Amino acid sequence: MHQLIRRWSRIALLIVPLLALGVWICGLPIWPASAVDGGYGLLCSAAAAIVQVTQSPIPPKTAPVPTTPLAAQAPQSTPVPVRTVPGMLPVLDPDNLYSTAGPNMLSPAVAGALTRVYVPNLRSNDVYVIDPVSHQVIDRFPVGFLPQHVVPAWDLQMLWVANNGRRRTDGSLTPIDPKTGRPGARVLVADPYNMYFAPDGKSAIVVAERLKRLDFRDPHTMALQESVATPGCSGINHADFSIDGRYAIFTCEFRGGGLVKIDLVNRKVLGYLKLDARGMLQDIRVSPDGKIFYAADMLADGVFLVDGDDFTRVGFIPTGIGTHGLYPSRDGRKLYVSNRGSHKIHGAPHGPGSISVIDFKTRAVGKTWPIPGGGSPDMGDVSADGKDLWLSGRYDNVVYDINTTTGAVKEIPVGKEPHGLTVWPQPGRYSLGHTGNMR
């Protein structure tokens, strides 16, 4: 037994130095990568292992894996889920409620819809249809009296033209099939200046401006469900909705302007808010995180900021003359503001109209794009890919296609006094109304 041990000891004394020399040579930077990754690498690794075992009388111990309590690990911020009203689709990103209406995020519900721009003309009582690729008017058809806005339905299956019928008894809604681009039979509805949809899709909300009320109707047949009077809101017209769908804030255009907050669950007025002594409120849109409502004031030449939950004024951003329409960019980072270039309801053509671009994060105007030669940008929306802002030229009888990168403008002649045009199809899971308030 002792002889056997001495024999293996002599062998080890001869082999170990040779193996150590091999390990040292393998460590030299003379071997190509292919050799190290191949056989040479395996040989060197084996030699190193033998040397380590032979020279270590005590087997190496495995270092313990440190365990860190879960509470002590780096915190991960998880957005708090939004508790929406029953029936409303979930908010997938609480930091950006427009995230489901991003560039080209088209719903299967709009499959087969023609790519068109629908332009209601107030004074000629018709709708012009534009091919956005060729910039040509390819169709024209009559609708009701004083068409104000083209409104996508909640389920994205229909477009509705709101024919105001001011001071007449023949106010109406004209349906347009987006797959054919052709109108259907008008539905008589009292005083439809504008139209929105409840976040759960169960009601259309016809904005009866002159009658100072909101008419909740069946979203398909337009049969009346109930009405909510808004006596303190003269000229009720535009709206946007809280992130959870529990309330909406509508603008009041006349008699000093202001806002009215509506409880959509119990369908009642929650309160009124005056923003300026001589205001003339127009469009309104909510910030991506749902906290701040941006309200355009045509006389104040800028946008008021309102905390929706507290229903208090928290700021003001000056933009341009006759601030009117508000349109979020497809990525939810910017707000395009149309400045109509006049404080009058019926202004002159070629006024100092412009587009202001507000950064939602900084709440500041980053760019201003004037309309070359003057103009009157009014209502419209952003293209599906987010590259174009389409707006009616209210006093100039044209439509503007504005490049959202450069601000370059193309003009297309249309009918008399175009107003709330819509681009279709648009990204989003459902429509809250107006010219395309998509979420």
Phi, psi of 46 (to 5 degrees): -65, -40
For position 78, what pLDDT does the model report? 72
Whose CA is closest to 187, among 151, 155, 211, 213?
A: 151
Distance of CA 357 to the CA centre of its chain: 15
**Count of domains in the chain?**
1
Residue 37 lies in a domain: no
CATH number at residue 277: 2.130.10.10
pLDDT in tens, 88-106: 999 999 999 999 999 999 9
Q: In order along the chain (439 residues), what is the average pLDDT of each group of 10 residues?
A: 47 45 40 37 38 38 38 58 96 97 98 98 97 98 98 98 89 98 97 98 97 97 98 97 98 94 98 92 98 97 98 98 98 98 94 98 98 98 98 98 98 98 98 98
Residue 60 lies in a domain: no
Phi, psi of 378 (to 5 degrees): -125, -100
For position 18, what pLDDT does the model report? 47
What residue numbers bound the domain in which 406 lies?
101-424
For position 10, what pLDDT does the model report? 52
Whose CA is closest to 222, among 258, 175, 177?
A: 175
For position 258, what pLDDT does the model report? 96
Percent of the chain's residues with pLDDT above 90: 79
Residue 19 lies in a domain: no
Residue 105 lies in a domain: yes
What stretch of H or E contains 136? Answer: strand 136-142
* Coil vs helix vs strand at 21: helix
* Coil vs helix vs strand at 30: coil
Residue 72 per-residue DSSP state:
G
Residue 76 lies in a domain: no
Residue 80 lies in a domain: no
Distance (Å, rounded) from C-alpha 399 to C-alpha 377?
A: 8
pLDDT in tens, 278-334: 899 999 999 999 999 999 999 999 999 999 999 999 999 999 999 999 999 999 999
Residue 70 per-residue DSSP state:
G
For position 263, what pLDDT does the model report? 98
For position 276, what pLDDT does the model report? 87
Instruction: List CB contacts of 147: < 8 A, sequence separation 6 or more.
Output: 120, 121, 122, 125, 126, 127, 161, 162, 163, 164, 174, 419
Please report which residue ranges of 27-147 form alpha helices under DSSP H.
33-37, 39-55
Residue 275 lies in a domain: yes
Percent of the chain's residues with pLDDT above 70: 82
- Degrees (nearest 5) of the Cα angle 249, 200, 282? 25
For position 77, what pLDDT does the model report? 64
Contact yes or no for 437/240 (Cβ under 8 A): yes
For position 75, what pLDDT does the model report? 52
Peptide bond into 425 cis (omega under 30): yes
Residue 352 per-residue DSSP state:
B
For position 169, what pLDDT does the model report? 83
Residue 190 lies in a domain: yes
CB atoms within 10 A of CB 81: 10
pLDDT in tens, 7-34: 544 544 444 444 444 434 344 333 333 3
Contact yes or no for 162/148 (Cβ under 8 A): yes
Whose CA is closest to 342, among 350, 355, 351, 333?
A: 351
Joined together, the tokens standing for residue 275 give 């923003």
Contact yes or no for 299/272 (Cβ under 8 A): no
